[in-house]
Amino acid sequence: MLNVTPSDQGLGAKVENLDLSQPLTQENYKKVEGLLGQYGVLCFPKQNLTALQLRDFSSKFGTLEINVANVYQEPGLPDVMILSNKRVDGKPIGLGDAGQDWHTDMSYSKMIAFTNVLYGIEIPHRNGQPLGNTEFSNMRAAYLALPEELKQKLEGKTILHDFNKFWENMRKQPGSTRAPLTEAQRKAKPPVSHPVFLTHPITGEKVLYANPGYSIQINELPKEDSDEILNFLFEHQLQPQFRYSHRWTEGDVLMWDNIGTIHNAVADYKPDEPRFIKRCQVMADRYFPQAA
């Protein structure tokens, strides 16, 4: 039996008594899917996984993304990505600044992301406290709390999401090593539109599908109106009562719902405080096959 302990925050639950190195039964797959819809963020503590086992578990939930621009891959397993600030012989061995602003994964893509699965292998600590938390905010709660008038105004409207917005924001951070996207890279990732409100495929409930990292324009509104409303949404969606902050422990597998939540990687650790995480991004093709 799975042992589920909800957090006392706006979302999140700890799930024990499931060894992710073993093949996931259909029954447990269904349970985990339901819990992900219900709690948005699941932590499976004390896991001990090979990269292959991480991939096998993740791929139960949909097709894995192979990030073409990403050179930080597990050798031989291009769908397992490395997030790390570590260097070997002066060279980075992982993407060091992944997710360091509020966003949801792959909203810039026609096929959006369903869930991201991170396996924490090295977690930085200072004075006995873990650093590099991953913070989340609950977009079902954010939808419900919108003023009625705005819900009506935005119903049926769409938002344009641009990969380059996040990329450029990261480039502005001190010490960034990101080069501007080339013309070819920009062409490969043109902005895409999605409804402002999505119906969550697991819960059937509406969620606000907007995020400061990638959202650039409400298509059906004049620019000025759109800017004003997007700024309102970006502030609205980060209210403390919607939030949950995950404090990492080595061996955690953290899995989150990329449709009903947004997240932010807290950049509060230094280059000599190592963080090393393996990651599989699962696309939502099980739920939106027509977008594939």
The partner in contact with residue 79, picked from ligand OGA, Mn ion, none with C-beta cut-offs of 5 to 8 angstroms by kind, is: none
Three-state secondary structure call for residue 1: coil
Residue 98: CB minimum distance to ligand OGA, A: 5
Which position among 55, 161, 243, 263 is part of the footprint of ligand OGA (CB under 6 A)? 263
User: What, of Mn ion, ligand OGA, none, does residue 279 touch, CB below 5 to 8 Å by kind?
Assistant: ligand OGA
The answer to whether the CB of 209 falls within 8 A of the CB of 259 is yes
Question: Chain-centre distance of CA 99, in angstroms?
Answer: 8
- Site residues (CB under 5 A) for Mn ion? 99, 105
Q: Number of helices (H) and strands (E) in the chain: give both, helices first.
A: 7, 20
- Is 33 or 101 the residue whose CB approaches Mn ion more closely? 101
Please list, in sequence order, all residues whose beta carbon lies within 8 angstroms of the beta carbon of residue 98, skipping any fewer than 6 positions away.
83, 265, 279
- DSSP notation for 240-257: GGGEEEEPP-TT-EEEEE
Residue 265 interacting with ligand OGA (CB under 6 A)? yes
Among ligand OGA, Mn ion, none, what does residue 83 contact (CB within 5–8 Å per kind)?
Answer: ligand OGA
Residues 158, 164, 168: CA angle, nearest 5 degrees: 130
How far, in Å, CA of 17 to CA of 2, rounded? 5
Residue nearest to ligand OGA (CB): 99
Identify residue 13 by its one-letter amino acid code. Answer: A
The answer to whether residue 134 forms part of the interface with ligand OGA (CB under 6 A) is: yes
When the beta carbons of 154 and 254 are compared against Mn ion, the nearer one is 254
Shortest distance in whole angstroms from residue 26 CB to ligand OGA? 27
- CB-CB neighbours of 10 under 10 Å: 21
Give the interface size with ligand OGA as a residue count (CB under 6 A).
10
Q: Answer for the pair 277, 121: CB distance below 8 angstroms, yes or no.
A: yes
Q: Which of 47, 85, 115, 116 binds ligand OGA (CB under 6 A)?
A: 116
Tokens of 59: 């791929």
> One symbol per residue from 69 to 108: x for binding ligand OGA (CB under 6 A), - otherwise; what is it?
--------------x--------------xx-----x---
Give the footprint of ligand OGA on this chain (CB under 6 A). Answer: 83, 98-99, 105, 116, 134, 263, 265, 277, 279
